[in-house]
Structure 1
């Protein structure tokens, strides 16, 4: 497994095992298979594991990692916190600290390597609003100081953001003097948002976010690499025809045709693309079992895509 630079956290594996699949967010799995998938990831050289309290019922992804990594201290673990002020969210520092302590208990660890804000940022000018979001001023005045304090006291080694909020504020956060130590950025061949976008009239600007993170020295974890399953050969869960994943799956038909022409699966091609993008330190996997993990490991082993294939994929973007 290739190791890549990840800022203050040193070098991490090119693949990160995400918790969405382990928690059952992307289709059914069970605890024993999820734990076995974590062990297989470690055996394959994966050194970073990314979870969140919201991944699965009763914090399932964090519980899986806590059980699976009990005797594996030489790996790094990421978790997240959601705080919002739309509607009003209360004492941010207390909520952040409480969420962290809960995660550490479930994970069986005394610190987190990376702690991420899992709430979308609103624009400074108040031109957009949505439930479960946070205003720029609240982020700047309350969230950032809370994260900095936790890092200074050793409860976390680094902090970051899920960089999927309103692009104006995400770009502001990446350029701020107290900028995050890492950012999770959407990276996939068709630039699909994987059922995360809450601003229908605003372009997401994922490419600008990625370029800005790179220019500001903020390490990037690539997320939604398979666009919530839309960039695979078939959706592995039932969704209604008007669901964003179903709409994106239909939109991705030319991508699947190109993958078939090249003799590969859509998921393998999507992961090889993300691993080829400059500035991406590690690609987060949404797998839920060992079979899906094996396909992603194969993609990493096959290496970056050649320039002509990357160019052909970019032509497919909507």
Structure 2
């Protein structure tokens, strides 16, 4: 099948208008059904999704191995799928986050492991997961550019960095896209980062378009996180913040129902409507959730719809930060 195609940046790759984010298939949201995860990847490919996003630290390699198995069993040619990979996040055996490493040697070593786990000879978009405060972005991007020249990487991406870092990176080598959280309740990117991306001809892959399920319409106040679900400790999912945020969801539900669509679909459609240079990543872990997300591609929002959405969920209305304080401190995009 074919769905709308969008180009990442002025000269980046052409990808499907929706991408599949695979993080949740490797434990970040609690236990996942591996067979269903693979079936979901197959369903995404069958529906016309061509972009799959992962990170080498998702399940400490498990996610890359899962994607490898899904692609092999799909019978599809490697050239039909674009793989976006993040690297650099460091974790200990207990799963704790212990920093970032984006030194040139670490970049190349990480890619060598990723190529082996994914069973491929190249990565379509390779990006540091966060800015390493101890390594100039010029050195990190320069190392990836060497991998581009050697044929191991097709395009360079960034993740969660601010406007100044974007400019410095783009001065070293062409940047295809910035991966960053962007949703109805996470809009800080609009102030400075998005204008710089458009000035420089850099695309955006937006993750968290449903705020990790918070604004999907499927979250409830009494829902308890499964073991290993990192959302249970995040500010927007806790206490009074959760209550306030779910009131926003109910206001959005009224708009969605009037449109004849689901809350998730209108939330994804809103991101799609913010520009053809933005590609939302949907983190579906099941075929059911994937099918719902794909329905957003058929939702057309006019000026009246957008105004109603804005009234239901005004900019800055979310209660709580995106992450706990320690993780927020690593976000160059929020400084």
Q: Distance in 1 between matches of 2:12 and 2:31?
A: 32
8 A contact 1:19–1:62 mirrored in 2: no
Aligned 1:252-291 pairs, distance under 5 A: 252-263=246-257, 264-291=261-288
8 A contact 1:268–1:299 mirrored in 2: yes
Q: What is the aligned length? A: 288
DSSP-derived class of the 2:61 partner: helix
With over 3 angstroms needed to count, the CA separation of the structure-2 counterparts of 1:171 and 1:77, relative to structure 1, is closer
Q: Distance in 1 between matches of 2:175 and 2:210?
A: 25
Pairwise CA distance, 1:226: 0.8
DSSP-derived class of the 1:101 partner: helix
Q: Match for residue 134 of structure 1?
A: 133
Cα RMSD over matched residues?
2.7
With over 3 angstroms needed to count, the CA separation of the structure-2 counterparts of 1:265 and 1:28, relative to structure 1, is farther
Within the alignment, does 1:182 sit opposite 2:171 as a pair? no
DSSP-derived class of the 1:12 partner: strand
DSSP-derived class of the 1:29 partner: coil
Q: Match for residue 24 of structure 1?
A: 27
Structure 1 residues 207-232: Cα deviation after superposition (integer angstroms, max 9, x where no partner): 42122112210121111101122212
User: TM-score, normalising length from structure 2?
Assistant: 0.77
Pairwise CA distance, 1:298: 0.9
Q: Match for residue 298 of structure 1?
A: 295
8 A contact 2:12–2:155 mirrored in 1: yes
User: TM-score, normalising length from structure 1?
Assistant: 0.81
With over 3 angstroms needed to count, the CA separation of the structure-2 counterparts of 1:243 and 1:110, relative to structure 1, is same
Aligned 1:72-221 pairs, distance under 5 A: 72=76, 73=78, 74-82=80-88, 92-119=103-130, 121=131, 133-135=132-134, 138-140=136-138, 142-162=139-159, 164-165=160-161, 167-173=162-168, 176=171, 178-191=173-186, 204-221=188-205
8 A contact 1:232–1:256 mirrored in 2: no
**Structure 1: gaps (5+ residues):** 122-132, 193-203
Q: Match for residue 15 of structure 1?
A: 18
Q: Match for residue 217 of structure 2?
A: 233
**Structure 2: gaps (5+ residues):** 91-97, 226-230, 317-335
Q: Distance in 1 between matches of 2:88 and 2:118?
A: 18
With over 3 angstroms needed to count, the CA separation of the structure-2 counterparts of 1:2 and 1:90, relative to structure 1, is closer
With over 3 angstroms needed to count, the CA separation of the structure-2 counterparts of 1:40 and 1:96, relative to structure 1, is same
